[in-house]
Structure 1
Amino acid sequence: MKDSYDSPDDRNLLDQTRQGVIGQPLDRPEGRLKVAGQAPYAAEYDRPDCAEGVLVGATITKGRVKAINRDAVLGMPGVLAVFSAPEMLRRAAQGGAGEAPMQDVRQVEFPLQPIALVVAETFEQATHAAKALVVEYDDQSSKAVLVPSPGRAEPAKDPTENGDLEGALKDAAHVVDVTYTTPGHASAAMEPHAAIAEWDGDSLTLHGSLQMVKYNVDELADSVGIPSDRVRIVSAYVGGGFGSKLGISHEAVAATIASRQLGRPVRVVMTRQQVFQAVMRRSETVQRIRLGADSDGRLTALGHEAFVSNLPEESFSEPVLQATQFLYGGENRRLTLNISRINRLTAGSVRAPGEAVGMPALESAMDELAVALHLDPVELRKRNVPDQVPGEGTPYSSRKLVEALDAGARAFGWDRRRPLPCQQREGEWWIGMGMASAARVNILAKAEARVTLRGDGTVLVETDQTDIGTGSYAILGQIAAEMLGQPIERTSVHLGDSLFPQGAGSGGSWAASSTGSAVFRACEAIRAELARGLNCAPDDLQLRDGMAWVEGTEPRPVTDLMDGDIARIGRIEPGELMEKVKQATYGAFFCEVAVNAFTGETRVRRMTGAFGFGRVLNAKTARSQCLGGMVWGIGMALTEELQFDHRDGHLTNHDLAEYHVPVHRDIPEMEVLLIEERDAAASPLQAKGVGELGICGAAGAVANAIYNACGVRLRDFPMTPDKLLADLPDPFAGPT
């Protein structure tokens, strides 16, 4: 059986199996442990004689650490040591690179960059000493670049140019030329970054809150200069990551260095403020979008020029143009991405990097074009669904955009929308509706998993794949139970330990389809072994509730076909197919808002999302992912914004009191429609990723609803009341 996925698997085996658990809205098997406080997160492991470490942040913006006056704090009660080793990270790793080269923490690149670790017997003692630590600097803050500037930007990637954009815009019947801005965002995961490091001779065990264990092992080993096979990472439960935990960060490396030198376990837990200030941010963006359409509303020109930022020498740049490249037509196009180098904390992958901020701008511009054309926004999008990827000629795999637009519109009651602004008023509230498309690239990643059908008929799945709250424990168990015909109660899943085969990790919406495909492959190999016992082809084997049979024969216990445990490792990796067809997930958002005519406050009253992402593996966890993305989209539209002091570049709203994520009061009842499909090109499961799709474009639907409600077209996210107030219509006037 080939590991690489080079051609579509058209057998559709999961539609022929008999157990009936695949796709069902099953609960997470670890849910009871979590709500009872019995699922240990990274900082909660009870390690005897564990010391506590607290990171110290730089008080300058740019420069170098000259001296750390350790002696004054080493005499404080309980203090064991102060570390500032060259191996410590000054930038959080991005994840996936397989290494984290020496960075030398003593070179300061941004405000409050961790530069030292104070270790004491208790957390309180370490915190006290960390605040008292005096550091001397070669201060070069006056040379720091604090604010991104398109005028100082450099190309982040080669531009995409097809046809004659300027000529097509000149000849177009309708043109939109607008600039949208989005601020930086924080991942704001519930569980802060935490690690416990412990050495046994020259071997290291780290309990950490991490998303990509197989890469994190290499990064950590590289950071401290030991072979990867000497590193074990345990990350069984992760309280959210959203990209911030893709790579190792400061707490893991610092705890490792301190533990090795002290000869005892060391725990380092970042405070909420430190997580905001030092780990990862989504880049702010400036996006100029130019759309040209003929009199029928078909795009003839599409320009998308985006500006992002990051630290000097960082290779990552927010991929703002990802969806623009394939979502709509327009044969004349120019797509450019430029990056400014600034002294702010590292910009990296935050949930749905690229589409999360690129799609709201594109979808708002499409709404502006629909207004100019006097055309329904849904119809405009349907008219511009291309047959092939523009400029490439690449065919699409399954694509449910039109179906999502239609299904979402019906369920939401889009036909009741009033096309002109300021047409509906309830008391002091203007009422409006808006919509947007959703799109996210789909990726199949290399993964391995071991499945064991035990002699008693129970099933065990093992992989270092993590579960960051997305439902990996449930989904991987369902795949194995379905393939091997065992009740889900007889299936157990062990995750997040680097001693297990290497899964895909949690990121890029690839976890379920990639590591799930590895589980599928392992189960195929076990089914082949069982089929030999019945002298039949593997695909003819029927399994359900622990019984095995071939059509026309009497069922018999599957254990009769076994001589002890059957364990197999399944593997999957992308092949040529990813380049042959364009794989993506699609959807649509529909939103109703109320805008206060006097204050400019916006309240989302209801929201519907319709999504197509291949086979639904678990309807409950998939719906949860979509809901979470939609909630974040509301936050992006109305409240979320990293705010930096332009005098020294430090982050001013570095906690959940000032970085405003939506709370229960902000979120209405929301409807999610799951549009079942099969995409054989995407994976052997015929499934695609859903974890990030629900955020991609959601903020655009809210923005468009605000315009429909009150006639104010804001192009600067988030759309806070102060930005709306100046242009609101007369609050004492009724509908026009």
Structure 2
Amino acid sequence: MKNPPATGQSISRIEGPLKVTGAAKYSGEYNVPGLLYGYVVNSTITKGKIIKIYTEEIKALPGVIDVFSHENRPSTAWFDMKYADMDAPPGSPFRPLHDAEIRYNGQPIALIVAETFELARYAASIISVDYEKEIFDTDLRSHFGDGREPETGMASLLKPPPPEPTGYFETAYAAAKYKASGEFYHGTEHHNPMELFTTTTLYEGKGKLSIYDKTQGTVNCQLYVANVFGLRFKDVKVISPFVGGAFGSGLRPQYQLFLSVMAALELKRHVRVTLDRSQMFTFGHRPPTLQRTRFAADADGMVTALNHTAFAETSRFEDYTEVVVNWSPKLYPAAHTLLDYKLVPLDVFSPMDMRAPGGSTGMHAIESTLDELAYQLKMDPLDLRLKNYTMIDITVNLPYSSKELKECYLKGAEKFGWANRAPEPRSMKRGHKLVGYGMATGIWDAMQAPARAEAAMTRDGKLHVKSAVTDIGTGTFTVMTQIAADELGLPVADVIFSYGDSKLPFAPIQGGSMTTSTVGTAIRAAGKALRKKLLRVAKRMKDSPLGKAELEEVIFQNGYIILKDNPQAAVSFADIINDGHHGLPLKTTNTGVPNMAKLNKYSRAAHSAVFVEVEVDEELGVINVTRALTAVAAGKIINPKTSRSQILGSMVWGISKALREETILDNQLGKYMNQNLGEYHIPVHADIHDLDVMFIEENDEHINELGIKGLGEIGLVGVAPAITNAIFHATGKRLNQLPVHFDMLL
């Protein structure tokens, strides 16, 4: 009997039992004899110089091994890290303990290494530092309108600048009868994955290291460590099989990796460095961004002019950019466009990719302005989007490889009950609560990068697949196993997937919703090559029933190669290995690469439509998202169960972005004031109600051999604007600052 394909099946996470029983080991849980513990000392000023660090008293504490600072840090190769980090933006990356300069509040200035974590932490609490303070600037709001053009570089390939202006925007906007505009702001957000950033470095002797790190890219960290410390690439091994959430925070090597490796090499000991929760606020964040929009339409509702300008924060030493303003003409083709993106360098750490970087920022402004335009036109917001629907991406003048967004709109609206919406704001009530319906569109690039994978058939007929890719909790392990199973016609139970180790075949950083298409394509390439090898060996076997068979004449099924025309003529994988290959595994390593000659003929994106209902207490202003639905078109869905979880998680994050998450920066001090989970508000169970996900069938014959697009970001980008649009419908107040505070409605 033929197995049904593994892809398309709702398979539970294979590693799930390990995680729920505590058997899964994370980077801070690898214990070895003689392990030392490092604790970071962070700057308490925002800008200036270190005059002196008083270490004598600290070093005298029994059990303290050493204190590292810029004054005594070991010499390193200090390779230019922009080439040692796949995700580094243009500029000069931050170098921990490099000199006496203080560039931002919370900068790591010392590492205390002790025999216990508690002792290292205590020593860090009593260390004394003299500073020379300098004037600093951390206030983005005071720079609305005076940013500069970002530096370009390799990063612009993945984060392209705004398209050139088209038509005559100012003339068209001035002449338009229907127009909408707005100013938008969202505050800083910080990654707060459950697992703290930790690196455990095992010193193996003679410059060899095994490093357990919380990361989204084992090879990226291997590259970083080898280049920065002048080590041989093959002597550095980075291992990260389990990651307790990351979603952008682990794309770049964080400073605890550098400090752990530095101490291990200098002391020739095993060293673990763990950042506490407050220290998780000292690197990387979603940058606060100021935006202005001006949209115009004719009397029929056709959008004629689009203007979107953004001013975003970056550090003094790197030009971190996001794709914020490019999205509107991709969705709503207008003859007259004017798009601009500027950076404002401030005395902060470089911002960092945070799920849907730029997309979740820009789509809030775009979809809120379009909603306002619908009200100006006295037109249903859904009808306005359908009126402007396009199958062509006018920014590149190419058709989409596939686009089932219209079905997302129609089927999503039907299931949500959009037709029950009364058009006028403040016209729907439930008891003493105002009820509002809002909707928004989501779009995210469908990307793919090169990767390699190894596939091996073992003597017991099992398929062993290997890749250096990580799994940050999105279900990568399970989905890759499903893809591999289908390549050889095996049940999932007969596939072993090894991953999360830099010594395995190359995989890029896990980000941008491109991992399944990237690594999955490599696994398919390896599977194809292995099928050819298996048949070649089977044909050489004595008295083989497959002696004259060609690849197109056989099927691979349930551990056998079988002739299509004669199912009795079959040879098992186990016999092929044991009898035809002397019991040795049959291996192949292959590369999956995007077919750019084909892909360059299309624009490639995943799409979504989000529908939200809110209740707003008329007296207190308290907002509650009572139900929400996201309809997604993202090519073939490999695992509906894990995919649904991806979208649900993104929807929760969208609710959090709209109503909860905000890091409060005191510009008098240049310091984030709520560096803990007690005051950095994220949703709890009581905040989340009826969430639903629909996957719209989308067959994409061009995107890649698997027909798949990414899912992480597309579930987030449309949620916040759908919520603020629902708040407007409920209250008649247009709120353009995120997160929305209840006092804005009083």
Aligning the two structures, in what range does the TM-score lie when normalised by the shorter sequence?
Answer: over 0.9
Tell me which amino acid in the other structure corresponds to 1:342. Answer: L
From 620, 623, 629, the equivalent of 1:599 is: 620
Which runs of structure 2 are paired with 1:396-475 in the superposition (5 Å)? Answer: 396-475=400-479
Q: Calculate the TM-score normalised by the size of structure 1.
A: 0.93
Equivalent of 1:349 in 348, 353, 356 = 353
The 1:693–1:47 alpha-carbon spacing in structure 2 relative to 1, beyond 3 Å, is same
2:29 corresponding residue in structure 1: 44
Superposed, 1:213-224 pairs within 5 Å as 213-224=218-229
1:620 alignment partner in structure 2: 641
Q: Is the Cα–Cα contact under 8 Å of residues 139 and 667 in structure 2 kept in the other structure?
A: yes
The answer (yes or no) to whether the contact 1:62–1:144 under 8 Å persists in 2 is no
Q: Which amino acid aligns with 1:275?
A: M
* 2: CA distance, partners of 1:664 / 1:237: 25
Task: Identify the match of residue 155 of structure 1 among 137, 149, 155.
Answer: 149
Give the Å deviation of 1:24: 0.6
- Alpha carbons of 1:358 and 1:540: their partners in 2 closer, same or farther (altered >3 Å)? farther
For residue 356 of structure 2, give the secondary structure of its aligned residue in structure 1: coil
Aligned to 1:493: 497
The range that moved more, 324-333 or 21-30, is: 324-333
Distance in 2 of aligned mates of 1:161 and 1:649: 37
CA distance in 2, matches of 1:490, 1:287: 52
What's the secondary structure of 1:516's corresponding residue? helix
* 1:167 pairs with 2:171: yes
User: For each residue in 1:445-484, what CA deviation from the matched residue of structure 2 results, as whole angstroms up to 9, or x when unmatched?
Assistant: 1111111121221111111100000111101100111110
C-alpha distance in 2, partners of 1:178/1:607? 25
Identify the range of structure 1 (379-388 vs 517-526) with the bigger mean alpha-carbon deviation.
Answer: 379-388
Is the Cα–Cα contact under 8 Å of residues 53 and 269 in structure 1 kept in the other structure? yes
Task: Classify the secondary structure of the residue corresponding to 2:259.
Answer: helix
- The 2-side partners of 1:578 and 1:217 are apart by 31
Cα distance in 2, alignment partners of residues 650 and 274 from structure 1: 12
Give the whole-Å Cα distance in 1 for the aligned partners of 2:270 and 2:739.
44
Residue 552 to residue 352, structure 1, CA distance change in 2 (3 Å): same
Q: Give 1:328's match in structure 2, choosing from 332, 341, 363.
A: 332
For residue 672 of structure 1, what is the amino acid of its counterpart?
V
Q: In the alignment, what sits opposite 2:249?
A: 244
- When residues 379 and 78 of structure 1 are mapped into structure 2, their CA distance, relative to the original with a 3 A threshold, is same
Matched, 1:58 2:43: yes
**Equivalence for 1:586:** 607
Q: Which amino acid aligns with 1:570?
A: N
1:711 corresponds, among 719, 732, 743, to 732
Which SS does the other structure have where 2:399 is aligned? coil
Tell me the equivalent position of 1:5.
none
Identity of aligned residues (%): 34
CA contact (8 A) 2:632 2:694 kept: yes
Q: CA deviation at 1:286?
A: 1.0
| Equivalent in the alignment of 1:645 | 666
TM-score if structure 2 supplies the norm length?
0.91
Is the contact between residue 451 and residue 460 of structure 1 (CA under 8 Å) also seen in structure 2? yes
Cα displacement (A) at 1:69: 1.3
Quote the Cα distance in structure 1 between the aligned partners of 2:9 and 2:509: 23
Secondary structure, aligned partner of 2:600: helix
Secondary structure class of the residue paired with 1:326: helix
Q: Encode CA deviations 1:342-384: one digit per residue, 9 max, x unaligned.
A: 1123211111111011111111111111111111111111121
Q: How many residues of Structure 1 are paired with residues of Structure 2 in the alignment?
A: 707
Q: CA deviation at 1:612?
A: 0.8
Q: Give ranges in structure 1 of 5+ residues lacking alignment.
A: 1-16, 726-736
For structure 2, which runs of at least 5 residues remain unmatched after alignment? 151-160, 540-545
Matched, 1:310 2:314: yes
**Which residue does 1:126 correspond to in 2?**
120
What residue identity is the alignment partner of 1:548?
Answer: I
Distance 1:448 1:623 in 2: 27
Q: Which residue of 2 aligns with 1:112?
A: 106
2:294 is paired with a residue whose SS is strand
In the alignment, does 2:87 pair up with 1:96?
yes
Question: Contact 1:19/1:544 (CA < 8 Å) preserved in 2?
Answer: no
Q: Distance in 2 between matches of 1:420 and 1:369?
A: 14
* Offset at residue 70 of structure 1 (A): 1.1
Aligned residue for 2:28, secondary structure, equals helix
How many Å apart are 1:679 and its aligned residue?
Answer: 1.9
Residues 145 and 632 from structure 1, CA distance in 2 versus in 1: closer, same or farther, beyond 3 angstroms? closer
Kindly indicate whether the alpha-carbon contact (under 8 Å) linking 2:201 and 2:272 is maintained by their aligned counterparts in 1.
yes
AA paired with 1:543? F
2:130 is aligned with what amino acid?
Answer: E
Distance 1:239 1:334 in 2: 41
- Give the AA of the match of 2:551: P
Tell me the distance in 2 between the aligned counterparts of 1:235 and 1:145: 35
CA RMSD of aligned residues (A): 2.1
Alignment of 1:454-603 (within 5 A): 454-532=458-536, 533=539, 534=546, 535-555=548-568, 556=570, 557-562=572-577, 563=581, 564=583, 565-574=585-594, 575-603=596-624
Aligned match of 1:72: 57
- After the TM superposition, which of the residue ranges 593-602 and 572-581 deviates more from structure 2? 572-581
Question: In the alignment, residue 387 of structure 2 is paired with which amino acid?
Answer: R
Match of 1:729 in 2: none
State the partner residue of 1:700.
Answer: 721
In the aligned structure 2, how far is the partner of 1:629 from the partner of 1:316? 23
Q: Deviations over 1:36-61 (max 9, x none)?
A: 00100000001211011100001111
1:283–1:310 CA contact under 8 A, matched in 2? yes
Shift in Å, 1:591? 0.6
2:9 to 24, 28, 42: 24
Measure the CA separation in 1 of the matches of 2:81 and 2:366.
31
* 1:403-452 CA-partner distances (Å, limit 9, x unpaired): 11111111111111111111121221111111111110111011111111
1:607-651: CA deviation from partner (whole Å, max 9, x where unpaired): 111101111111111111100111100111111111101102111
Shift of 1:539: 4.5
Contact 2:320 2:350 in 1 (8 A): no
1:566-615 CA distance string (max 9 Å, x none): 21112122334443311000011011110000110011111111101111
Moved more, 507-516 or 19-28: 19-28
Q: Within 5 Å, give how 1:265-344 maps onto structure 2.
A: 265-276=270-281, 278-344=282-348
Letter in 2 for 1:583: R
Q: 2:138, 2:667 within 8 Å by CA — same for their partners in 1? A: no
- Deviation of 1:318 after TM superposition, in Å, equals 2.4
